[in-house]
Structure 1
Amino acid sequence: MMLLMLVAQLDTLDRVAAVVDDKAIWLSDVDERALLYAATYGIPPEQLPNLRREVLQQMVNTELLYLKVREDTAIHVSEDEIRRAVDMQIQQLKGNMSDEEFAKKLQEAGFTLDSYRRFLWDDTKRTLYIQKYIEYRIKPKIRISEKEVEEAYERLADSLATPPEFKLAVITLMVRPSASVEQEYYAKAKRIYQQLKRGAKWEEMVQKFSDDRESAKVGGDLGIVPKNALPPEFVREIERTPEGSYTKPLRGPQGYHIFWVRGKRDDAFLLSHILVRVKPSERDVQETMKKAKRIVKKLKSGYSFAKMAQRYSDDPVSKANGGELGWVSARMLPPDIVEELKKAKPGEIVGPIASPDGTMINIFKVMDVQEGKKPTKEQIRQLLLNQKIEEELNRLIEEAKKDYYVKIYI
């Protein structure tokens, strides 16, 4: 939950993100949801601008659907139904945490239990109305024939098969740039910083130099970034930097960041950045690969994988467990690694394999394998049902756009 915060505290940075009919959707609400999603799925701060736009569009579409559903006066959701659904969501989030632990987690996210309940209430109300409309107005009209199921099964069964899973242990070696390579990229970042200090236009410098091409599309905008999503040394430097000014180049895992400090609040900053990505040289990759091959040779001669992982791996999480990752879906791995793992039997060593960007080299031990499975025909039937429901919902959204005022401002 490290990315969460109460964006509503940033009221002086708030503005209307969209209007649907007579309802304003505030940027703080969009950011609140985007940050929750980012925290849940581990999305890095530099991807928040794109996520913000996706969340806003989803909120607009949900509001349009809700307006269309409320036209049907026979569809009703009671406050008791909303309360039970909210309680269930809170209980699922709480899991096995004690009341004190849960309160602390909520506090880290900027919520009390009551404020979090209020946060969930309106979204839950809209979701329940839409779900009831689907159940009583859409599903009864949908017919799926056996022929449709058979044809879809023949067409989709292979592509929808669950991927294999591998029980893995890993030794990860980070490819560290040599001192000369590091100095080269630092000098580049420093030149950019000096040009900015002399009055170069931020937008032009972002487009010309930033290696974060996603955020470059929006001028390097990272949006509202919680302090606890940043390394402590970044926080200290940003706090020292006056609003409207630029930080000196700061070294992060990907390279050097230059931040434009656009705003500050107690728990967060409003930031844009230029990233100068530090890329190891081919020689750096070759030297690390030589080290990896020596490790593989020892493993194949009988050395303990767990002990070698604890000694050599640069991944602190798996290293603490002797390199063990547990079960990993093939969907979570690059295709070239999956192909190599498929060839291996339990107990075998796979690698070393360099990552596509050349920043790390992995050595795997395949501990067990579970083959993928094709979906059942009943699952295919459910897929067809969901597709037809989605088509009808999209039709309703398009219809609502003609019936209700919609304006998006960001």
Structure 2
Amino acid sequence: MNNLVKYLLILIVGINFVSYAKDNIKLYDKIVIIVNNRPVLKSEIDLAKKWYNLKDDKEAAKKLIDSILLYQEAKKHHIQVYPQEVDSAILRIAKLNGINSIDNFKKFLEKEDIAYNEFYDLVKREITIQKYIQFVIKPKILENIKEANEETYRKVRIIYLSKKDKDFEEKYQFLKKKLTVANFSDLAKKYSDDPITKKDGGLLGFVKKGELLKQLDEKVWSIKPKQIAEVNTKDGIYFVLVEKEEKKFVPKDVDIDKIKQKLNEELKLQLKKLKEKAVIQYLDKSLKG
């Protein structure tokens, strides 16, 4: 992993979740803002204050709206995040707080009156945004730099079958016989147990070597484009299709501080454009900046 990627992912790897006293937290199950038809709860504002270490509700609401808009834009670019990635990030956060398991961290959140599903969604959203920065915004910034290395990307689709599914064996045998390159997308929508990629026909998008889970990564880079392969894991089986391979030029010897500055500028520009097109309704007028 190069230094730039490390920088972009440091928010997820190194974040320290700050504990607040229970008496200072109240969860209100009411919608306070709507962002492009996506309702925002008061409890999400409270959680955003802790995540971003803010005291002001308006500032937290602004940060949360920015995050939601970037997340929605990332999804339009088919940026995917696996449950395993979210679980790993949450476990790292738990350990930074001296907690050695997700189950114990859930108990910690419960004591703080924080809903685990909201915390999970927040972490997933942050990881998605970091991937969006890495795979969409960063290349846009670097495209005019002449000194570059050639890197190879592969467009990948998957179908995941969970061994816990009572129909696992039947689905597995059917796909083993019937699955082809031509029908892969349609059968992924119908049979895949992965809720993240299923609706997009199993599409993972373009990946670089070393970016997927180890078993998947090894298989993706051991087969040729237009080939289908299987990956057998403890919990399920993946059918993997490499649709095509592309080579892209990635600049070398870049100034990290300069890239950081350009990324911030580009993010501000993106957010400005997204807000101009967004429909944001403040049901709680006190949150409007």
Which category of TM-score, normalised to the shorter sequence, fits these structures? 0.3 to 0.5
Between Structure 1 and Structure 2, whose CA radius of gyration is higher?
Answer: 1
Could you tell me the TM-score, scaled by structure 2's length?
Answer: 0.46
